[in-house]
Amino acid sequence: VKIGVDAGGTLIKLAYTYNQGESISFKTFPALQPEEVVKWIQAFDDEAEIGITGGKASLLQSMLGRPSLGMVEFEATCNGVRYLLRQSGVTEEAHILTNVGTGTSIHYFDQSGQKRLGGTGVGGGTLMGLSQVLTGITDYHELIQLAAAGDRDRIDLKVKHIYQGAEPPIPGDLTASNFGRVFALAATDTLSKEELLASVVGLVGETVATASVLAATPYDSASIIFVGSSFIQNDLLKEVVEGYTRLRGATPLFIENGEYSGAIGALLSL
């Protein structure tokens, strides 16, 4: 067996295959339980080949106590994305890649290599942290389900709210200020958890989309590829990112199993 591991800040992602060329299987563990990953890997015999990437790679390597190949995270992610693009028949050669993990990292890559363009601390960790502060909820699936039922209208200030019927110089549906409409609420108004969580998803999604479109501006690339576990079962975040990226004139692309791109890259390096 060959196992690629992407040990991130929140989740440890694994991609593994029993025979070269056979389909790849996937598995995820919480980053707070690296010993579970070690146990899972150690259940394989000594023939198992292991490639590890991500911020917690060295920690995991030392816990494993058997040889493993370390790989630079950004290289692994881009190699994994190249593989997934080939699988899905995408043929363009140059791309902007935005990885929305605990934080967000933005890259340019083509056949010859990759370059990190920048990033933002607003990412999946912000979604978790801000949601917890605002509602007390810590469970990821509960949070995203409630968010999907929420309406941002009383919380977020749109450009058209400011222009009130006059013709705005930029699209009226752009958010002028995330959470910027709260001041207009009456003292007696209370916001529901659903509204608050939908607005947190809005803040994260719009920030990520905006940073990506700005980073992409100097590049002649067909699309912006969005990956990362923050999109897992989170259709609302996908919708926000997709809509906002289009509103700003670029083309978003989501790829199946994109959250495993780092693990796939680590696997392919073996």
Asked if residue 73 binds ligand ADP (CB under 6 A), the reply is: no
x-or-dash string of contact with ligand ADP, 178-207, rule CB under 6 A: ------------------------------
* From 64-72, 74-82, 159-167, 226-234, span contacting ligand ADP (CB under 6 A): 226-234
Residue 212 Cβ, how far from ligand ADP at the closest point, in Å?
Answer: 15
Q: Which residues is 157 bridged to in the sheet?
A: 177
Asked if residue 53 binds ligand ADP (CB under 6 A), the reply is: no
Half-sphere exposure of 170 (CA within 13 A, CB side): 11
Find the residue with minimal CB distance to ligand ADP: 8
Residue 123 Cβ, how far from ligand ADP at the closest point, in Å?
Answer: 7
The encoded tokens of residue 251 equal 């083309």
x-or-dash string of contact with ligand ADP, 6-45, rule CB under 6 A: --xxxx-------------------x--------------
- Signed CA dihedral, 145, 148, 154, 159: sign only: positive
- Angstrom CA distances, 110 to 79, 106, 117, 221, stand at 10, 14, 13, 9
d(CA 90, CA 68): 32
The torsion region of residue 228 among left (phi > 0), alpha (psi -120 to 50) and beta comes to: left
Helical pair 57-64 and 34-42, crossing angle rounded to 10 deg: 50
Half-sphere exposure of 244 (CA within 13 A, CB side): 25
Residue 49 Cβ, how far from ligand ADP at the closest point, in Å?
Answer: 22
Pick from 229, 245, 257, 269 the residue near ligand ADP by CB under 6 A: 229
* From 34-42, 110-118, 224-232, 244-252, span contacting ligand ADP (CB under 6 A): 224-232
The catalytic residue positions are: 73
* From 106-114, 121-129, 205-213, 249-257, span contacting ligand ADP (CB under 6 A): 121-129
d(CA 183, CA 115): 41
Asked if residue 137 binds ligand ADP (CB under 6 A), the reply is: no
The encoded tokens of residue 108 equal 């340019």
Q: How far apart are the first and last CA of the chain?
A: 11
Residue 200 Cβ, how far from ligand ADP at the closest point, in Å?
Answer: 11
Interface contacts to ligand ADP, rule CB under 6 A: 8-11, 31, 101-102, 124-125, 127-128, 140, 228-230, 232, 259
